[in-house]
Amino acid sequence: MLYTLKKKHLFVLISVEEENPEFWRSSAQNTLRSALSRKHNTNVAKNIVLFLGDGMGVTTITAARILKGQLQNRSGEETVINMDTFPFVGLAKVYSVDFQIPDSAATATAYLCGVKTNLNTVGVSAAARNGVCHSQKGNEVTSILKWAKDAGKSVGIVTTTRVQHATPAASYAHSASRTWYSDTDLPTSAVTGGCLDIASQLLRNTDIDVIIGGGRKYMTPKGFPDPEYPTDLSAQGQRNDNRNLVNEWLSMKEGKVARYVWNKTDFDAVDPEKTDYLMSLFEPGDLRFDVERDPSMDPSISETTEKAIRILKKNPKGFFLLVEGGRIDQGHHDSRASMALHEAVALDDAVARGLELTNEEETLTVVTADHSHAFTFNGYPFRGNSILGKSPIFAMDFLPYTTLMYGNGPGHKITDNKRPDIRNVDTTDKDYVQQSAAPLDSETHGGEDVALFARGPMAHLFQGVYEQNYIPHAMAFAACVGTNQEHCAATTEPDEISFTSTEPGSSAPNTALCAMTTVMLSVCMSVLLH
């Protein structure tokens, strides 16, 4: 039973049951019984689905949980989002080799390729230097997407950014700079040094079955008109080499059913049962924010996730799929919390769709972030207060402030030594820029650990606190891909598991033999693979 308490124009939903101590005791006992009945799934993971919320720190997850509940006309705080239902949770340390607080390129290299590296570089070790072409030669590292493909699995990328952006790029490219999207972006030293742009590597390095996101302009010759925005000069092709990578990709798939689409009508018409390869590029650059998306032109991340899984799951050997909610990060950089949180809610919806389409007994599903943001959840708002609203208690300057704020960013505005008066400002508007403590054109990342949620085969390997580069090694172990497969061989005794480096081509395998019970498996993995 609920009753409503009015507090200065705030309507707080109070549950009568919550006033009874037995409500909370019973809830705790239910959680305890669930924990005690939890069994480790030690199956080999036929499939892996990795959901990556770019910039989705713990504060973002909490705020998105409340927003999702409030969008459903509930108080919000008690909401259980899809990632909350995952039984195993860990924390990943996100620093890069050279910086205390990382970017999306260094982190993507860690959680996809299994090695930490330097800021701004993708698919290379820390021996490579930011922007120095010759330094990447011989220092390339491969990703779990390639390990899965080499094992005979189908592989795919789904993102809400351009498919050449840092996160997806680390799954297939090797670049001393994350910003070398097309050949136009290569400096002269990189051209003479023989380095390739990221878009061209999308075709060259790994045979990817499904590619969905944005980034059309990096795939076509300079001046090539965009099919959706033919008069927009900024949307035109950017390549200096006169290559049309879309046409090249289609020609490479001779003998297979390969489809290229750029709008929702054609996307919806793609039959997963009759499609071997799909490339869908819905925008010249990044996709639109979900709240601004035209549903008649661009599908949601849930819809793209579903299409990818339906195509990939036809492979009897299974699949690996990376799904990135990339614009969470961009909403935060703009200090538009509403945009960032709606993107996080959309990603959580995609998680639900992924779980519906896969079998937990054979599919390892992981949800995590690459890094957080300088994003705070503060003040003393009443229960049920809009997560995008204001604290009911004014600051010492006798002005209100929002529940969500940023440590730095474009929201820092001081006039006559005063903060802006937001009493009559709609802070729930999608374009509202949250106030910040320090002035910057673009808000920065945060450096605290990020959460990782796991369910399915070997999900218990993701408990505790670990380096971010541990993640792909544990996923590869669960799926028996890469070189770390001795535990999968028929000759291996049930109580004996051996380990080698997961990175193919490693010059110095780290080999050990562990006799253990399933309960001790995660402990041994942590020691051997760190």
Q: 247-302: per-residue pLDDT in tens?
A: 999 999 999 999 999 999 999 999 999 999 999 999 999 999 999 999 999 999 99
pLDDT at 511 over 50: no
Q: Per-residue confidence at 12, pLDDT binned at 50, 70, 90?
A: low
Which has the minimum average pLDDT: 135-144, 178-187, 506-515? 506-515
Q: Supply the pTM of this predicted model.
A: 0.90
511 is in an annotated binding site: no
Total domains present in the chain: 1
Whether 477 is in a domain gets the answer yes
Distance CA 369, CA 162 (A): 18
DSSP state of 260: E
Whole-angstrom distance, CA of residue 413 vs CA of residue 422: 12
User: Do the annotations mark residue 487 as ligand-binding?
Assistant: no
* Confidence at residue 13, expressed as pLDDT on a 0 to 100 scale: 56
What does the pLDDT average to over 426-448? 97
Closest CA to 245 of 162, 159, 148, 149: 162
Flag whether 420 is in a domain.
no
Q: Is 324 annotated as a binding residue?
A: yes
Is 526 a residue whose pLDDT tops 70?
no
Q: Which residue has the tokens 């990376």?
A: 322
**Which of 116-120, 407-411, 517-521 is the least confident region?**
517-521
Report the distance separating Cα 198 and Cα 201, nearest Å. 5
Q: Is 492 annotated as a binding residue?
A: no
pLDDT in tens, 368-388: 999 999 999 999 999 999 999
Q: Identify the residue whose tokens are 């700079």.
A: 177
Q: Which two tokens stand for residue 211?
A: 């590619």
Integer-rounded Cα Rg, in Å, for the chain is: 24
pLDDT, residue 6, reads 47
Quick check: is 147 in a domain? yes
User: With bands split at pLDDT 50, 70 and 90, how would you rate the model's confidence at 128?
Assistant: very high
Q: For residue 160, is pLDDT > 90?
A: yes
Helix (H, G, I), strand (E, B) or coil at 106: helix
| % of the chain exceeding 70 in pLDDT | 89
**What is the per-residue pLDDT across 355-368, written as a single tens digit (0 to 9) for each?**
999 999 999 999 99
- pLDDT tens-digit series, residues 14-51: 678 888 999 999 999 999 999 999 999 999 999 999 99
For residue 56, give its domain range.
Answer: 38-374+444-488
Please tell me what DSSP assigns to residue 333.
Answer: H
Question: Looking at residue 484, what is its pLDDT?
Answer: 74
Annotation-wise, does 445 bind a ligand?
A: yes
- Note if 104 is an active site residue: yes
Q: What is the pLDDT of residues 216-253, one digit of tens each?
A: 999 999 999 999 999 999 999 999 999 999 999 999 99
Comparing CA positions, the residue from 450, 468, 474 lying closest to residue 522 is 474
What is the mean predicted confidence (pLDDT) over 200-211? Answer: 96
421 is in an annotated binding site: no
For residue 432, pLDDT over 60 is answered with yes
Catalytic, out of 96, 104, 135, 372: 104
Indicate whether 387 belongs to any domain.
no
The reply, when asked if residue 165 is annotated as ligand binding, is yes
134 known member of a binding site:
no
Do the domain assignments include residue 449? yes
- Decide: 375 and 332 in contact? Cβ < 8 Å: yes
Q: How far apart are CA 30 and CA 34, in angstroms?
A: 6
pLDDT at 503 exceeding the cut of 60:
no
Contact 370, 94 (CB under 8 A): yes
Q: What angle do CA 241, 130, 197 make, to 5 degrees?
A: 15
Residue 105, in any domain of the structure: yes
504 belongs to a structural domain: no
State the DSSP H helix or E strand holding residue 329, giving kind and residue range, or none if neither: helix 327-333
| Cα atoms in the Cβ-side hemisphere of radius 13 Å centred on 404 | 28
Does some domain include residue 224? yes
Statement: residue 528 has pLDDT above 50: no
Report whether 98 belongs to an annotated binding site.
Answer: no
Among positive and negative, which fits the CA dihedral 293, 294, 298, 304? positive
CATH number for the domain harbouring residue 343 = 3.40.720.10
